[in-house]
Amino acid sequence: MINSLKSTEDIKSLRDSLKAEIGNNVVGLDNIVDSLIISILVGGHVLIEGFPGTGKTLLANLFSKSVESTSNRIQSTSDLMPSDITGTRIYNPKEREFEFRSGPIFSNFVIVDEINRAPPKSQSALLECMQERQVSVEGMTRKMDEPFMVLATKNSIELEGTYPLPEAQLDRFLFRLIIDYPDQASEAEIIKRRIGSSPDISPVVSKQAILEGKNMIHSGINAEKNVLEYISSLVQNTANIPKVTLGASPRASVALLYAAKGFAAVTEGRSYVIPDDVKAVAFDVLNHRLILQQNALLDLDDSDSNSATEYLRKIIKDCIDEVIVPV
């Protein structure tokens, strides 16, 4: 168990330990696990999207259990109420007074499964806690315990009985991570591992170590002025992408900086950010923040397995290529 982090090299070692533990149960998702580690260490939330049966919920559960902390799961349904998420005041006849019963949102990890099956008023119950890390119920404001992370899952192809996620909510996710079907070798390994066994994982890092890593990344990872200007130029340029109605917001610039700092520390053990770090995380940070025109996908090849994703990948790459990289 990792109980403390003293340097960026310790953060890199934490990443290796988490990937090894989670890798015993999932196959071919190394980059996704890296992004989850970056997110928890910078205080972000993650939307995991993919086809049914690709391991979205399994991965979210395993990741939450790999940290010594509390976790709750919210199964989204059409009749889910905001109070089912945040909690409510209930009359206690023994004490003859109302008392607050906290909902599943009061946890270090909150797994919101099939988030787009929850109606809009229930989805809105997540807005305050995701941005301000507090919940207001009946005139009382309660702070969330740190670390706090929302892990939401969403199926790519299901439309019936679902509700679109509003842009304000999507913008609160640091990453949207897209899981595709595995290749043949990975799928064969998945089948082999599941014969006669079920996923099992033990915590490998303490809550205190996560908080120390978060503080280290925010205060100890340096981003020079030219890197900050590069991030700003890149985000500003998203508004100039053809067939994009609305580009990324200033919140995206902050998210891109946090993610780049996390990438430098987690994957490289570095104490400074370079433009390549920004490029590495740009797609996952920006792909859910761009609003496309309705005719944006009409000219794509129908044979593409995931046309919208590939189109977003292309236009974000073109956007990055148009911005001058600082020396």
Domain architecture of the chain: domains with CATH: 1-220 (3.40.50.300), 221-327 (1.10.8.80)
Residue 129, token pair as written in the block: 């806690």
* pLDDT value for 301: 60
CA 2/CA 162 separation, integer angstroms: 40
Range of lowest pLDDT (180-184, 245-249, 272-276, 295-299): 295-299
* pLDDT value for 194: 77
Measuring CA to CA, which residue among 127, 181, 175 is closest to residue 157?
181
Tell whether the model's pLDDT for residue 302 goes beyond 80.
no
Mind listing the pLDDT tens digit for each residue in 70-84?
999 999 999 999 999
Mind listing the pLDDT tens digit for each residue in 211-240?
999 999 999 999 999 999 999 999 999 999
* Residue ranges of E strands in 41-139: 46-50, 67-68, 71-75, 87-92, 97-102, 109-113, 134-137
Pairing type for strands 71-75 and 134-137 reads unpaired
Q: Which three-class secondary structure state does DSSP give residue 203?
A: coil
* pLDDT value for 283: 96
CA 252/CA 176 separation, integer angstroms: 12
Mind listing the pLDDT tens digit for each residue in 121-132?
999 999 999 999
Tell whether the model's pLDDT for residue 196 goes beyond 70.
no
DSSP state of 103: -
Q: What angle do CA 160, 71, 20 make, to 5 degrees?
A: 95
Whole-number mean pLDDT of the chain? 90
Pairing type for strands 205-206 and 67-68 reads parallel
One-letter identity of residue 24: N
Please state the pTM of the whole predicted model. Answer: 0.91
Contact 210, 37 (CB under 8 A): no
CA 327/CA 325 separation, integer angstroms: 6
